Amino acid sequence: MSLVNPILGTMQRAVRDALAAHWKLFMLQGGAMIVLGILAIAAPVAATVAVDLYVGWLFLISGLFGLIALFSIKDVPAFLWSLLTAALSLAVGILLIGKPASGALSLTIVLTAFFAAEGIFQIATSVAYRHIIVDSWIWMLISGLADLALAGVIIAAWPLSAAWTLGLLAGINLLTSGYAILMVALAGRGFARAALPGVPAAG
At residue 78, the pLDDT reads: 53
Q: Please state, as a whole number, how many other Cβ atoms lie within 10 Å of the Cβ of residue 56.
A: 21
Q: Classify residue 134 by its DSSP letter.
A: T
Q: In this predicted model, what pLDDT tens digit does every residue of 101-114 receive, in sequence order?
A: 677 777 777 777 87
Highest mean predicted confidence (pLDDT) among 26-35, 53-62, 94-103, 137-146: 26-35
Residue 50 C-beta-side C-alpha neighbours within 13 Å: 14
pTM over cut 0.75 = no
Q: Classify residue 202 by its DSSP letter.
A: P
pLDDT, average across residues 135-161: 79
> Binning pLDDT at 50, 70 and 90, where does residue 135 land?
confident
200: left (phi over 0), alpha (psi -120 to 50) or beta: beta
CA–CA separation, 14 and 72 (whole Å): 43
pLDDT, average across residues 177-186: 86
Helix, coil or strand: residue 197: coil
CA–CA separation, 190 and 133 (whole Å): 10
CA–CA separation, 179 and 176 (whole Å): 5
Q: In this predicted model, what pLDDT tens digit does every residue of 52-97 receive, in sequence order?
A: 888 788 888 888 887 777 677 656 555 666 677 778 778 878 877 8
Amino acid of residue 128: A
Amino acid of residue 179: Y
Q: Which residues contact 144 (CB under 8 A, 6 or more apart)?
A: 118, 119, 120, 121, 122, 123, 124, 125, 126
Per-residue pLDDT at 127 exceeds 70 = yes
Q: Classify residue 203 by its DSSP letter.
A: -
> Binning pLDDT at 50, 70 and 90, where does residue 35 land?
very high
Q: In the predicted model, what is the mean pLDDT of the chain? A: 77
Per-residue pLDDT at 8 exceeds 60 = no
At residue 73, the pLDDT reads: 67
Per-residue pLDDT at 31 exceeds 80 = yes
Residue ranges covered by each domain of the chain: 19-44+100-195
